[in-house]
Structure 1
Amino acid sequence: MSRKNDGDHSSNLQQRILSAVLGPCLLRSRSPEKMSAVETERKTACVTGGNGFIASALIKILLEKGYAVNTTVRNPDSREKNSHFKGLQALGPLKIFRADLQEEGSFDEAVAGCDYAFLVAAPVNLKAENPEKELVEAGVRGTLNVMRSCVKAGTVRRVVLTSSAAAVCIRPLQGDGHVLDESSWSDVDHLSSGAKMSPAQAYPISKVLSEKEASKLAEENGISLVTVCPAVTVGAAPAREAHSSVPAALSLFSGDEEMLNTLKHITMHSGSLTLVHVDDLCRAEVLLAEKPAAAGRYICCSLSTTILQLARSLAAKYPQYNVSIDAVGDHSENPRIRLSSEKLVGEGFEFTYKSIDDMYDESFMEYGKALGILPF
């Protein structure tokens, strides 16, 4: 087995993106006098993008642990997208704020007075007409906008940034048996080498650049930042809408060719299909927020498999869906890479969902039905 260590990748693309995002903006230093000296019994956390799949599950866990939660959405008046908040508010104090990733300062009110900030919201548009602008520039700008609100608040003990395994594992591969850890970065130069950038290329570039710029801002302003890089995330959550990972993960049942192609693309370009359950991801994020010694990046992945292994397992477990193994096409039997969560486990974390059977349980299937992804 080999462990791959990669250095930073610089490119003209990266400089162009950062120039477009940062512009003339000046970052203000943290003001120590703003730090709250009063400890309250109930801690408050801000979770951005509360009507999203991961964010809604994270809000639920935080409320169940006794936190007060502030969350942000672009349109608080949308009943369709925000219907799950009523059930969550029954669990504990939850406030909803309007905020937009592209509007600097719009997160100030939601973050003010918070002990922790979980940056989950990010642009994900796999049909973007201008991926560089809509995904890369917008992703970096949005991350930095929320980070600046954390600096202004002066009370935030730790920021937890949700990145992606897509920022870790996409690069030219030679041979098999690679084990990637937090020192590994997806190759921005490789991803941007084509004549025209696709959304599938822009997404990992966005995650790499967002991580690196957030780290710079945190260091310059005395903010404690932890970044979590989750694998493809599955499972059930309170949100009534779920984009990308959930429909892709259920595409072998639904027959959605576009989403199945997304799953194939992930496997082909990253060398494996890596999975984590949303409950495990959210528990990991809370642990890393609360643990003072936690620092840097953490990969959150409990299973490295392949789309072929997934299809065979699901066909055997759920014969009523007539999963087509042939639809998977010509893919490797075994993963060429594995993502190591050794650093996360070293912090005392233990995964609950470790196998395909664990993750694709009845609750996930019922969630797929509730979202209209699965027919029955």
Structure 2
Amino acid sequence: MNGEGKVVCVTGASGYIASWIVKLLLLRGYTVNATVRDPNDKKKTDHLLALEGAKERLKLFKANLLEEGSFEHAIDGCDAVFHTASPVTLTVVADPQAELIDPAVKGTINILKTCTKVSFVKRVIVTSSISTVMFPRSPLGPTDLVDETTFSDPSLCEEKKLWYVLSKTLAEDAAWRFANANEIDLIVMNPGLVIGPILQPTLNFSVDVIVNFINGKNFFNRRYHRFVDVRDVALAHIKALETPSANGRYIIEGPIVTTNDVEKVLREFFPDLCNDDKREDIDMITKTYKLSVEKVKSLGIEFTPTETSLRDTVLSLKEKCLI
């Protein structure tokens, strides 16, 4: 029970990764102040209130990313803050600035500003994304090693209209600048495409990719994929808090698997599964660079095999009647 007597805040607590962070924190004895947009929205809160330890040690707070000061009550008195709240979509958006960039950048700074006002906060862990690593100005080649020193180029993201990637890249950059200027002990987690069992009652973007597979669609039209288990991602966040020497960024990503590998596991559950997308691989980036996850392994993270994550995703979707 590493967290006994400690109070931490989790923003965007009803989300996929955040729900697992809350679950693991409660199991480790922490008291959790969880922020949601609407504490009365049962669809967003019931799964949190049902967690083991929630009755005794979970408090819900209403907060909005774009409302300055709205996180103060939740963060006041906390030892640490996990900032996971940020919009996720890779589909076309009408207004990228309002829908993605502002909530990501302004929301992150809003949280960090609040942390400077309350004296208790010792460490802030921000959930970023592997996308802030994968799009440097020069395209990645087969011999390139991608690690925590690699950063996506905002102007390239803008040119290619990669609005989600741009929002996460700008938010992470703003976070580092603010943290350095204000002496905040900041850690940034950069997970890839997250799968595994869901706690919330609705589909989220990354698990929906698996639902697409089940429905015979290869969402990204890829032949090669990388997935990482939500339980590993959540635990990495908590280990980043509990390891005094933890610092900087942490890439959290699984090994490469092929579309055939994914389909093979899914066929155990859906024998007549067929994929309608057998076009040539247009996603060269997934297979042509090497990725280092040594840093996150140094926190004591052992990765769940992709097969296990896929099976557990499907079982969870069936249990929640989402497929």
TM-score (norm 2): 0.90
| Distance in 2, Cα, partners of 1:189 & 1:305 | 30
Of 132, 135, 139, which residue of structure 2 is paired with 1:167? 132
| Distance in 2, Cα, partners of 1:342 & 1:54 | 21
Q: Does 1:144 align with 2:109?
A: yes
Q: Does 1:130 align with 2:95?
A: yes
Of 310, 313, 316, which residue of structure 2 is paired with 1:364? 313
Shift of 1:144: 0.7
Shift of 1:193: 1.4
Equivalent residue runs for 1:2-151 within 5 Å: 41-88=4-51, 90-91=53-54, 92-125=56-89, 126-151=91-116
| Distance in 2, Cα, partners of 1:189 & 1:247 | 29
Q: Does 1:339 align with 2:304?
A: no
| Conserved? CA contact 1:311–1:323, under 8 Å | no
Q: Does 1:323 align with 2:273?
A: yes
Shift of 1:336: 1.6
Structure 2 equivalent of residue 273 of structure 1: 225
> Structure 2: where are the runs of 5+ without partners?
none
Residue aligned with 2:201, SS: coil
Shift of 1:94: 0.1
| Distance in 1, Cα, partners of 2:236 & 2:248 | 14
| Conserved? CA contact 2:23–2:52, under 8 Å | no
Shift of 1:157: 1.1
| Distance in 1, Cα, partners of 2:263 & 2:39 | 42
Structure 2 equivalent of residue 222 of structure 1: 183
| Distance in 2, Cα, partners of 1:122 & 1:184 | 22
Q: Does 1:348 align with 2:307?
A: no
Residue aligned with 2:159, SS: coil
Structure 2 equivalent of residue 190 of structure 1: 156
| Conserved? CA contact 1:52–1:242, under 8 Å | no
| 1:61 aligned partner, one-letter code | L
Instruction: Kindly provide the CA deviation profile for residues 78-100 of structure 1, in whole angstroms up to 9, marking residues without a partner as x.
Output: 12222212212645410000000
| Conserved? CA contact 2:142–2:290, under 8 Å | no
Shift of 1:358: 1.7
> Structure 1: where are the runs of 5+ without partners?
1-39
| Distance in 1, Cα, partners of 2:227 & 2:113 | 32
TM-score (norm 1): 0.78
Residue aligned with 1:274, SS: strand
Residue aligned with 1:70, SS: strand
Larger radius of gyration: 1
Of 138, 144, 147, which residue of structure 2 is paired with 1:178? 144
Shift of 1:350: 2.3
| Distance in 2, Cα, partners of 1:313 & 1:370 | 21
> Compared with structure 1, are the counterparts of its residues 242 and 45 closer, same or farther at alpha carbon in structure 2 (3 Å cutoff)?
farther
Aligned length: 316
Shift of 1:43: 0.6
| 1:224 aligned partner, one-letter code | D
Of 285, 292, 302, which residue of structure 1 is paired with 2:244? 292
Instruction: Kindly provide the CA deviation profile for residues 206-239 of structure 1, in whole angstroms up to 9, marking residues without a partner as x.
Output: 1111111111111122210000000100111321
Residue aligned with 1:250, SS: helix
| Conserved? CA contact 1:314–1:323, under 8 Å | no
| 1:138 aligned partner, one-letter code | P
Shift of 1:347: 3.2
